């Protein structure tokens, strides 16, 4: 399991100096163009994140393991919406994800959780999106502190992390003995907005 990501030198310098960084946005791209788009964003100085996972596919005479995007057709990018034109002109980019024709940032906590997940080496795979419900927190191991929803699949437990804006989830193999329930309800303003209306993808022009 892995991930592809990049931080431009200019943004690295800003981070060191304590300057405010731009929020993460999700980019919808043509399927199988994710790595090409990431490479182009790299060349023009944008910070991006493309989470990958190991997938085993059967060929005619063998099983081949390869790394593929956790969210096919999407990758994440830090950007200033006032400077979005170079991104929208990138070959393969379809739109910046949002609703009501407005781009919506991805929750920084969700991106951080995905980055920790892919860096941990813990096996994971895409999972049907789950609405926010009873949450748990991992109390030990490389993913300590991450929160998500526990589900059971084929007799084993999985911790499900979700990206609300994309309505996509990823399941992580875990031992339920290492988690405890999160008692408090901490819905953000963005979550409350989603409870009232289902977001639809819309390009930013």
Q: Which pLDDT score is estimated for 153?
A: 67
Q: Which pLDDT score is estimated for 199?
A: 39
In terms of domains, do 90 and 121 share one?
A: no
In terms of domains, do 3 and 102 share one?
A: yes
Of 81, 106, 131, which closes a domain? 106
Residue 24 is encoded by which pair of tokens? 């993460």
Residue 202 lies in a domain: no
Q: Which pLDDT score is estimated for 200?
A: 37
DSSP conformation class of 12: H
In terms of domains, do 121 and 160 share one?
A: yes
With CA atoms as reference, report the closest residue to 103 among 198, 189, 188, 26: 26
Residue 62 belongs to domain spanning:
1-106
Query: In this structure, what CATH number is given to the domain that contains residue 80?
Result: 3.30.70.940
List residues bridging with 68 in a β-sheet. Answer: 53
Of 79, 106, 133, which closes a domain? 106
In terms of domains, do 83 and 115 share one?
A: no
In terms of domains, do 56 and 46 share one?
A: yes
Count of structural domains, the chain:
2
In terms of domains, do 101 and 116 share one?
A: no
In terms of domains, do 136 and 163 share one?
A: yes
Phi, psi for residue 133 in degrees, rounded to 5: -145, -140
Query: In this structure, what CATH number is given to the domain that contains residue 184?
Result: 2.30.30
In terms of domains, do 155 and 183 share one?
A: yes
In terms of domains, do 76 and 171 share one?
A: no
* Segment 31-75, tens digit of pLDDT: 999 999 999 999 999 999 999 998 887 777 778 888 899 999 999
Q: Which pLDDT score is estimated for 21?
A: 87
In terms of domains, do 81 and 181 share one?
A: no
With CA atoms as reference, report the closest residue to 97 among 79, 115, 109, 112: 79
With CA atoms as reference, report the closest residue to 85 among 76, 75, 74, 96: 96
Tell me the C-alpha distance between 119 and 160, whole Å: 17
In terms of domains, do 189 and 116 share one?
A: yes
Residue 168 lies in a domain: yes
Residue 152 lies in a domain: yes
Q: How do the pLDDT tens digits run along the chain, 205 residues long?
A: 556 665 444 444 444 444 578 999 999 999 999 999 999 999 999 999 999 998 887 777 778 888 899 999 999 999 999 999 999 999 999 999 999 889 999 999 999 999 999 999 898 889 877 665 567 888 888 888 888 887 776 667 788 998 999 999 999 887 766 677 776 544 444 344 334 334 333 333 3
In terms of domains, do 28 and 79 share one?
A: yes
């Amino acid at each position: 399991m892995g991930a592809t990501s990049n931080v431009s030198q200019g943004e690295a310098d800003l981070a060191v100096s304590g300057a405010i960084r731009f929020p993460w946005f999700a980019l919808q791209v043509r399927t199988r163009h994710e790595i090409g788009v990431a490479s182009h964003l790299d060349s023009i100085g944008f910070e991006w994140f493309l989470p990958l996972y190991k997938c085993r596919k059967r060929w005619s005479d063998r099983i081949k393991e390869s790394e593929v995007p956790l969210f096919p057709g999407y990758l994440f990018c830090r950007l200033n919406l006032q400077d979005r034109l170079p991104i929208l002109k990138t070959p393969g980019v379809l739109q910046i994800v949002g609703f009501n024709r407005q781009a919506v940032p991805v929750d920084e906590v969700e991106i951080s959780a995905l980055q920790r997940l892919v860096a941990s080496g813990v096996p994971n795979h895409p999972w049907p999106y789950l609405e926010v419900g009873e949450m748990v927190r991992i109390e030990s191991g490389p993913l300590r502190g991450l929160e998500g929803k526990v589900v059971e699949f084929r007799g084993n437990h999985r911790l499900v992390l979700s990206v609300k804006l994309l309505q996509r989830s990823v399941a992580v193999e875990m031992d339920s003995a290492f988690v405890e329930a999160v008692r408090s309800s901490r819905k953000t303003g963005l979550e409350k907005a989603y409870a009232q209306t289902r977001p639809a993808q819309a390009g930013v022009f």
